[in-house]
Amino acid sequence: MSATSILLALSLFSCKDDGGDLGVPLDTDTGSATSIDADGDGFSAEEDCNDNDPGIYPGAVEICDGNDNNCNDEIDESVTTTYYQDSDNDGFGDDSVNLQACEKPSGYVPVGGDCDDGEASANPGTAEICDYIDNNCDGDIDEGTTSTYYADADLDGFGDAAASLDECRQPKGYVTNDQDCDDTNAYAWPGNAESCDEADNDCDTFVDEGVTTTFYADLDADNYGDDALSSEACAQPTGYAEVGGDCDDSEPLANPSETEVCDTIDNNCNGVVDEDTADDALTWYADSDADTYGDVSTTTQACTQPSGYVSDATDCDDTDSDEYPGADEYCDGDDDDCDSIVDEDSAVDASTWYSDIDEDGYGDLASTDVECYQPSGYVSDSTDCDDLDSSSYPGGTEVCDSADNDCNSLVDDDPIDGETYYADSDSDGFGDPSSTVSACSTPSGYTDNTYDCDDADALEPMVVDSTLGSATGDGSSTSPFDLIQDGIDNATECVIVYGGTYYEAIDFSGRDLTVTGVEGSDRTRVDASGTGSPVATFASGESSASELSGMTLTNGEGYYYTYTETRSCSSVTTCTDTYYTYWGGGIYVENSDPTLYDLIITRNDLEDYDVIDGATEEATGDTYTFSYGGGIAFIGSNSTVYDLEIDSNDAMEGGGLYVDSTSAITIDSSFILDNTGLDGAGVELDGGQMTETNVVNANNVATEDGGAAIVLSGTLATENVTYSENDAGTYGSSIYFQGSSTGTMSSSIVYADSSVAALYFDGSSSFSGSYNNVYNTTGSGYSGITDPTGSSGNISYDALFTNASADDWTLLSTSPSVDAGDPSNSDSDGSTTDQGAFGGPTSDWND
């Protein structure tokens, strides 16, 4: 470093600048300033307020030493003690003279509160004494050390309570009691004897009591004084009387010796003015009903009219304010106007009554009588339209008698004994069942039948009549077809078929039509003999809107199907087996869901099962014949059927009814009777589902299994069903459950007279039954399953049918199955459901 640089550094070290510190050395290598901590307290000179004292620096603890230890520009803050001046040296200082110091100055103490710092006996620690000083500094002088003394000016030994002193010692002219009533009178003090001197000698607040006479002021000079103005004296004063009791000392006519009169003065001074006994009092009459008319029998005497009384005595009923002379007469059972006549015809509210000659309760407006009460032969109603005909009145029941029975100005309209007629808007002779009227004869625009399915289209329905129809007909009512199939082929919505026998087989051919035998199933017969077909076919996708009803279907030969299979055989290289199958003699349903009801399906016999052995009769192979569903065959169907009689049909499988594995059929309110077959004479359920409600299955006979039904891996659900005297050659005289089939049965009757068990369960079939009656007279009720009799409400008794041999399966009143069904259900009469086909909510289905 040059000499010039050294001189410059020394110069800077010795200079003082407003923005820097004094004496800050520079780094000799870099020339920059460095910090100095002279007292070694960790703070530089520019930070420390006294860099010469290591006990002084920012953040140090302040101590009472007269220095700013923490460098906050305050000295001894919050560390000094307050001392008070103690001039009288009693240990307590004067609060108004104090100072802050680190140590106690001479003549000062750390405790204040002295109330007199010039009096050593006055401070908060001294007890109060009687010395006229506030010794304990509580603001009171001599408290608790004085006694009260009372002035005794008359020197009678009794003091004046109004003149007292609190002193430490008794002053002259004062006593300790305050009982004097007059401290100016030495003859007035408690206990002194009273004397007549107008002074209260005994201090009892009374003057001259017991030594004077009472006199009463008598201003009206009637010798009776005013009790309220009395004077006690030794002798009678002027203007006073010796006797009091005067009630009005300004009225000489009012004193106890006067007689009461009506003059608004209490003459006799009895406290009552003009009382009822006054000599000139008037007679008044009670007016209890406040109608201003009084009761002559209830009176009172008074100078003026009493409340509730009047001067009039002409009221005839003083308990009713509506009854008085001249009042309006009303029909109320009272003599309102007091004329001695009750409810006369002139009463303002008298009613008009109307003659009721025919006594139907309705009167003739033209024949009247005004009376308060209904006269004989009259009524209040005036709306009779014919008072000579008791069957004609408003709201009457209209009947066919050429009279306006209901008084609506129309004759024979909607009579209860009329016929029901149906609107024929399209004038085709057929009525709309949804638009009806009751009439005594056919009204214009109506007809007596319900055959129309579209009353806006005169071309519907198509009409079929076996007697009047022809092949050249147009399907109208005047030119009907003679074949049902012609009607089906030409109809858009519906076909009606009149009674007779039709020799044909019918096919709905995919058309959703309603085909109805209008005269009923017992009069309309479809015979398919020789057609080689079912009587009726639904195999083209018909829906539930396709309906067939009101017919007997018979002599159907079934839907015919044949196929072949080849196999190796010993006589020739290849043998060909041929299979012939027949389906649905009465009705064949395939992949369709028709609605079937009111049908008799009878005597449809399909080919019996047969095998022709080719080894003896046909060298090239064997021939097999099978048949399914003599009455009905359902293939891939979800149909609902009801009110059917499936009777005396035959097939190898399902003599009465066959249901395949892809179908779910519901059958209700029907009979399945006298059918035959190899298996399932009544019903064969081949893997599908079937629900039966209110169905009779009776007298069906299977050569092998399942007299009433056979269930092959399907589900059969029955409720309120009757099985009666069905039979089978091997298993299940009533029902045979095979494989994985499922059965549920509720509120049903199974009656058998067979050595074969009524219900037979094979394989893994399952069954649940409740509230059933299963009874077999000669064999068991169950086989292959634990007998559930006695549990779940099931019983086992003869059902006691009314007459099963005559096809009457209703129950005798003594039947154990009456009211024995599921208690959660009711019959139509409200009682617990009966078991069997005629129990349950639809128990009257066969009426």
pLDDT in tens, 673-729: 999 999 999 999 999 999 999 999 999 999 999 999 999 989 999 999 999 999 999
| pLDDT over 70 at 21, yes or no | no
Other beta carbons within 10 angstroms of residue 843's beta carbon come to 23
Please write the tens of the pLDDT for every residue from 521-535: 999 999 999 999 999
**Would you call 98 exposed, middle or buried from its count of C-beta atoms within 10 A (0-12, 13-18, 19+)?**
middle
Q: Pick from 193-207, 288-302, 417-431 the range whose average pLDDT is largest.
A: 288-302
Pair 597, 549: CB distance under 8 Å: yes
Contact (Cβ atoms closer than 8 angstroms) between residue 677 and residue 652? yes
Task: List phi, psi (to 5°) of 13.
Answer: -65, -30
CB-CB contact of 328 with 337 (8 Å): yes
Query: Is the predicted pLDDT of residue 22 greater than 50, yes or no?
Result: no
Closest to 464 in 3D by CA, of 526, 557, 522? 526
What would the two tokens of residue 642 be?
A: 């009801």
Name the least confident of 11-25, 131-145, 183-197, 746-760. Answer: 11-25
**188-215 pLDDT, tens digit each:** 889 888 888 778 888 988 887 778 888 8
Mean pLDDT value across residues 543-556: 97
pLDDT one-digit tens code per residue, 653-676: 999 999 999 999 999 999 999 999
Cα 194 from chain centroid? 91
**Residue 672 CA to chain centroid, in angstroms?**
49
CA within 13 Å, CB half, 312: 13
**Residue 29 confidence (pLDDT) above 60:** no
CB 834 within 8 A of CB 827: yes
For residue 445, the one-letter residue type is: G
Tens of pLDDT, residue by residue over 624-644, are 899 999 999 999 999 999 999
Does the pLDDT at position 604 exceed 50? yes
Q: What share of the chain is helix, strand, coil (3-state, %, to 5)?
A: 5, 30, 65
pLDDT of residue 25: 41
Q: Which one, of 688, 645, 639, 646, lies nearest residue 666 by Cα? A: 639
8 Å CB contact between 182 and 199: yes
Q: Which helix (H) or strand (E) holds 4?
A: helix 3-14
Q: CA triplet 792, 793, 799: central angle to 5 degrees?
A: 140
Residue 291 has pLDDT above 90, yes or no: no
Q: Residue 15: pLDDT above 70?
A: no
The whole-number pLDDT of residue 34 equals: 52
Please count the other Cβ atoms lying within 10 Å of the Cβ belonging to residue 217.
19
CA atoms within 13 A on the CB side of 215: 17
Query: 410, 407, 465, 474: which is closest to 438 by C-alpha?
Result: 410
3-state SS assignment for residue 661: coil
The 10s digit of each residue's pLDDT in 316-371 is: 888 888 889 988 889 988 888 898 899 888 888 889 999 989 888 898 889 998 99
Kindly report the average pLDDT of the chain as a whole number.
87
Q: Mean pLDDT: which of 35-49, 144-158, 383-397, 581-595 is highest?
A: 581-595
708, 723 Cβ separation under 8 angstroms: yes
Q: Which residue has the tokens 């029902």?
A: 735
pLDDT at 11 over 80: no
- Asked if pLDDT for residue 19 goes beyond 70, the answer is no
Rounded Cα distance, 341 and 726, in Å: 90
Both structure tokens of 737: 């459950």
List Cβ neighbours of 592 (8 Å cut-off, separation of 6 or more).
508, 538, 539, 540, 541, 542, 543, 546, 636, 637, 639
Higher pLDDT, 388 or 470: 470
Q: pLDDT tens-digit profile of 87-110?
A: 889 889 888 888 888 888 988 989
pLDDT of residue 17: 39
Count CB-CB contacts under 10 A for residue 605: 20
Write b or e for each residue in 473-490: b if 16 or more Cβ atoms lie within 10 A of its Cβ, otherwise e: bebeeeebbbbbbbbbbe
Tokens 């930070």 belong to 47
**Of the ranges 32-46, 392-406, 806-820, which one carries the lowest mean pLDDT score?**
32-46
CA 417 – CA 567 distance, rounded (Å): 76
Cβ 436 vs Cβ 423: under 8 Å = yes
What is the reported pLDDT for 539? 97
Burial of 841 (0-12, 13-18, 19+ CB in 10 A): middle
Q: Is the distance from CB of 543 to CB of 593 less than 8 angstroms?
A: yes
Looking at residues 581-602, what average pLDDT do you find? 98
CA distance 585 to 529: 11
Q: Over 74-115, what HEC string results?
A: CCCCCCCEEEEECCCCCCCCEEEEEEEECCCCCCEECCCCCC
Residue closest to 82 by CA, chosen among 96, 71, 68: 96
Distances from the Cα of 622 to the Cα of 214, 566, 572, 573, 626, angstroms: 161, 10, 13, 15, 13
Q: What is the pLDDT of residue 97?
A: 87
pLDDT for 613:
62
Which residue do the tokens 């800050």 mark?
24
Nearest CA-CA partner of 631 in 695, 680, 694: 680
pLDDT in tens, 776-789: 999 999 998 877 77
How far is 62 from 261, CA to CA, in rounded Å? Answer: 110
Residue 565 phi, psi (nearest 5): -140, 140
Model confidence pLDDT, tens digit, residues 481-499:
999 999 999 999 999 999 9
| 3-state SS assignment for residue 488 | helix
Between 231 and 512, the more confident residue is 512
Which of helix, strand or coil describes residue 485? helix
> Residue 186: helix, strand or coil by DSSP?
coil
Query: Does 294 have pLDDT greater than 80?
Result: yes
51: pLDDT strictly greater than 50 = yes
Give me Rg for the CA atoms of the chain.
Answer: 67
Give the three-class secondary structure for 12: helix
What is the structure's pLDDT at 159? 86
Please determine, for residue 28, whether its predicted confidence score (pLDDT) is greater than 50: no
Which of 75, 79, 135, 132 minimizes the C-alpha distance to 102?
79
Residue 210 · residue 201 · CB < 8 Å:
no
* Percent of the residues in the chain that have a pLDDT greater than 70, as a whole number: 94
**pLDDT at 112 (0 to 100):** 84
* Exposed/middle/buried for residue 250 (C-beta within 10 Å: 0-12, 13-18, 19+): exposed
Q: Residue 674 corresponds to which amino acid?
A: D
Encoded tokens for 210: 């017991």
Q: Which residues pair with 108 in a beta bridge?
A: 85
Nearest to 232, CA basis, from 271, 252, 251, 206? 206
Helix (H) or strand (E) holding 10: helix 3-14
Distances, alpha carbon 740 to alpha carbons 34, 663, 688, in Å:
108, 17, 12
Asked if 667 and 695 count as a contact pair (C-beta separation under 8 A), the reply is yes
DSSP conformation letters of 250-262: T-TT-STTSPP-S
Q: Which two tokens stand for residue 467?
A: 């007697």
Residue 11 — φ and ψ, nearest 5°? -65, -45
HEC letters along 695-760: EEEECCEEEEECCCEEEECCEEEEECCEEECCEECCECCCEEEECCCEEEEECCEEEECCCCCCEE
